[in-house]
Amino acid sequence: MVVAIIDGHGGGIGSYIIKRIREEEELRELEIIALGINSLATSAMMKARANRGASGENAVVYVVNRVDFIIGSLNVVMANSMLGELTPKMAKAIAGSNALKFLLPLPMENVSIIGYQYEPLPHLTDKLIQKIKELIKK
């Protein structure tokens, strides 16, 4: 299975998710592609032990249709999010990809998810890992 993890800014969220996945014995065989909205994010995720990495709009648009899963915060499907780093073309490609998307509802400017109760990133990542394990066992 091939997983794309998408992150921007400094890549902290993506790096954390990659580190947690790599700690799980059942998930060590996953091929992880770090898709950075910028090169700093890609670099951070590569240091966290992604298998491959690429940066920028063209890389995101190209790769999201060649993976089984996409992981990122909810704002990866929102044009101009991440302070404008995530382009409309990226958001459209990610949202339109046939890959199964795992989107973490992390706090965002000007967006309120009604009915959602905030959970810290470690709790959301634990749930994410559990869901991936369930899908792989099928």
Using alpha carbons, select from 43, 66, 72, 73 the residue that is nearest to residue 55: 43
Q: Does domain 2-137 have CATH number 3.40.50?
A: yes
Please report which confidence band the pLDDT of residue 93 belongs to, taking 50, 70 and 90 as the band edges. very high
Token pair 């998810």 is at which residue?
Answer: 113
Contact 98, 33 (CB under 8 A): no
- What would the mean pLDDT of 62-74 be, rounded to a whole number? 97
- In the chain, where the domains are located: 2-137
More confident call, 6 vs 112: 6
Contact 8, 56 (CB under 8 A): no
Please report which confidence band the pLDDT of residue 69 belongs to, taking 50, 70 and 90 as the band edges. very high
More confident call, 124 vs 28: 124
Q: H helices of 55-113, where?
A: 57-63, 88-96
Contact 63, 37 (CB under 8 A): no
Please report which confidence band the pLDDT of residue 52 belongs to, taking 50, 70 and 90 as the band edges. very high
- In whole angstroms, what is the distance from residue 84 CA to residue 47 CA? 25
Residues 6+ apart with CB under 8 A from 129: 20, 21, 24, 27
How many alpha carbons fall within 13 Å on the CB side of residue 90? Answer: 27
Tokens of 125: 């990542």
